[in-house]
Amino acid sequence: MKLTIFGASGRTGRPLMMQALDAGHEVTAFVRTPAKLDVQHENLTVMQGDVRNPTQVETAVTGADAVLSVLGPTANTPDYQVCQGTEHILTAMKKHGVRRLVISAGAGVGDPADAPRPVNKLINLLLRLVSPHVYEDMKRTVDLVRASDLDWTIVRVPRLTDDPPTGQVKTAYVGKGMGMRIRRADMASFMLQQVDDTRFIRQAPAISNM
């Protein structure tokens, strides 16, 4: 398949990109700074761009079978770049008939199926107090995706770690058996599986390690 990955040079985007290449997919990696990707592969196209530029985003999306986004706010500022970029991604996908979208978000961005416990509520409150713009950016992003008519999946995650993958991922909802952390490589593997897995279309599962 032809996959476009936004945020491919990040700490989660990189393992996602490498796993996609290892699986035989053709990957367009949309990044702001190509120098961060010291990877060469016959199935990899590195595209430099800014997600706030709709023309560049459209070029990256054109011809894709699916789009994956691991974009996240880099600072607690009210510019909401992820939300802006996601709006451009959605517009480009609709224009070019690309249906499948898989994005990541923090588990603090809620879902109607959640049943948060006191500890979950406390963590969420602290996040909103310490990084209100980060939270708002991702909430707006998720709201945009939910409102679209695409075949989307929102993969919500707790604390991320850089430990080696376990190969085990648990799907649940906040307060309903979700763990407190997940390894980035396991998260990437789950996201990649969603490209052709229909179980979580138009759902927002929370994932964690066992």
In the predicted model, is pLDDT for residue 104 greater than 90?
yes
The mean of the pLDDT values for the chain is 95
Confidence bin at 164 (pLDDT 50/70/90):
very high
In the predicted model, is pLDDT for residue 121 greater than 90?
no
pTM of the model: 0.95
Q: Is the dihedral of CA 171, 176, 179, 180 positive or negative?
A: positive
In the predicted model, is pLDDT for residue 190 greater than 90?
yes
Domain that residue 137 falls in: 2-208
Give the rounded distance of the alpha carbon of 47 from its chain centre: 18
Confidence bin at 210 (pLDDT 50/70/90):
confident
State mean pLDDT over 110-131. 88
Q: For 52-76, write each residue's pLDDT tens digit.
A: 999 999 999 999 999 999 999 988 9
Distances (CA, A) of 50 to 88, 131, 146, 147: 11, 23, 23, 23
pLDDT value of position 123: 84
Confidence bin at 24 (pLDDT 50/70/90):
very high
Number of domains in the chain: 1
How many angstroms separate the most distant Cα atoms in the chain? 49
Q: Which of 113-127, 138-152, 189-203 has the lowest mean pLDDT?
A: 113-127
In the predicted model, is pLDDT for residue 7 greater than 90?
yes
In the predicted model, is pLDDT for residue 152 greater than 90?
yes
Q: Is the dihedral of CA 177, 12, 160, 185 positive or negative?
A: positive
pLDDT value of position 72: 93
Q: For 31-43, write each residue's pLDDT tens digit.
A: 999 988 989 999 9
Which of the pair, 38 or 169, is modelled with greater confidence? Answer: 169
State mean pLDDT over 74-92. 95
Q: Who contacts 150 (Cβ-Cβ below 8 Å, separation ≥6)?
A: 90, 93, 94, 99, 100, 101
pLDDT value of position 74: 86
pLDDT value of position 36: 87
Q: What is the CATH number of the domain that holds 32?
A: 3.40.50.720
